[in-house]
Amino acid sequence: MIMRGFLLLSLMLTVSGCTKGPKEYQPYSATKRTIFLPAVRSAGAEPVYARTRWTHPPEVLPQRERPGTKDSIEGRSAPMLRPVFHLELKNASLEETARVLAATSRYESYADPSIALHKITIENLGTIDELGQIIERKAQIQVVIDHQNKEVRFLAPTAEQPRLFKE
């Protein structure tokens, strides 16, 4: 058994000693180039379906109708959703009241100079429209809240226009 191991070890050393050394570097030879030919088909290309797509021409999108506007058909009676505010002013001028009311919705304010210095005390909860109506009743002025132009106007009260009766 020991003899077989010794014989196997000597055979391995003999074989490993007889191998050649490392190969020398041989640069790429320009004469041995591989040429790739283009692919050739015996039949034509397979048919491609649905190359065209249905598209709409570019155009400006129409303005979206909001509920409660004159343009909407189904939602003419629906009110606009507005946030509710708590307004508390003590002995404030109407000019300051207009500024505070307009600031709740980031609107501009205007107070007629003839009524700007009148004082009012108010403490109520409501939307900008409801608060405008409360101020209008309490101060006996005309309050206009223009949502389209984002403006709150406090105007002097106007008398009712005379009307003639129909004959």
Residue 51 lies in a domain: no
Structural domain contains residue 111? yes
Report, as an integer, the average pLDDT of 141-146. Answer: 94
For the cut 60, the answer to whether the pLDDT of residue 133 exceeds it is yes
- pLDDT of res. 63: 67
Nearest one of 111, 112, 137, 115 to 124, comparing CA atoms: 137
Domain around 109: 85-155
Residues 147 and 116: their CA atoms lie apart, in Å, by 22
- Residue 1, in any domain of the structure: no
Q: What is the pTM of this model?
A: 0.51
Domain membership of residue 133 (yes or no) is: yes
- Strand (E) positions, 36-150? 85-93, 108-111, 119-126, 142-146
The answer to whether residue 110 is domain-embedded is yes
Q: What is the CATH number of the domain that holds 122?
A: 3.55.50.30
Computed over every residue of the chain, the mean pLDDT equals 81
For the segment 147-151, the average pLDDT, to the nearest whole number, is: 92
Q: In this structure, is residue 16 part of a structural domain?
A: no
Q: What confidence tens digit (pLDDT) does each residue in 78-115 have?
A: 567 889 999 999 999 999 999 999 999 999 999 999 99
What's the domain count of the chain? 1
**Could you report the per-residue pLDDT of 34-71, keeping only the tens digit for each?**
788 888 878 877 777 766 777 777 877 766 666 555 55
